[in-house]
Amino acid sequence: MKKRTIIILSIITLVLTFIFAEIFSIYHFGSVPTLLTTSYLIIIFSIFEYLFVSITYVIRKLIKKEKIQKTKIIGLILLFVALLLILWFVVVINVDWLNWYAHYSTPFYLNVIVKSIMYLLPSIILIIISTLLMKKKR
Output the pLDDT for position 56. 86
Q: Output the pLDDT for position 60.
A: 87
pLDDT value, residue 101: 60
CA atoms of 40 and 28, how far apart (whole Å) = 13
User: pTM for this one?
Assistant: 0.70
The Cα angle at residue 82 between residues 137 and 7, in degrees rounded to 5:
75
pLDDT at residue 18 in the model: 83
pLDDT at residue 88 in the model: 84
- Do the Cβ atoms of 112 and 93 come closer than 8 Å? yes
Q: In the prediction, which pLDDT does 86 show?
A: 87
Domain ranges, ordered by start, for the chain = 1-68, 70-138
Q: Residue 99: what pLDDT? A: 62
Mean per-residue pLDDT pooled into runs of 10, the chain (138 residues): 80 86 77 78 86 87 88 89 86 69 64 79 90 76
Structure confidence at residue 125 (pLDDT): 92
pLDDT given at position 5:
80
**Predicted local distance difference test score (pLDDT) of residue 70:** 86
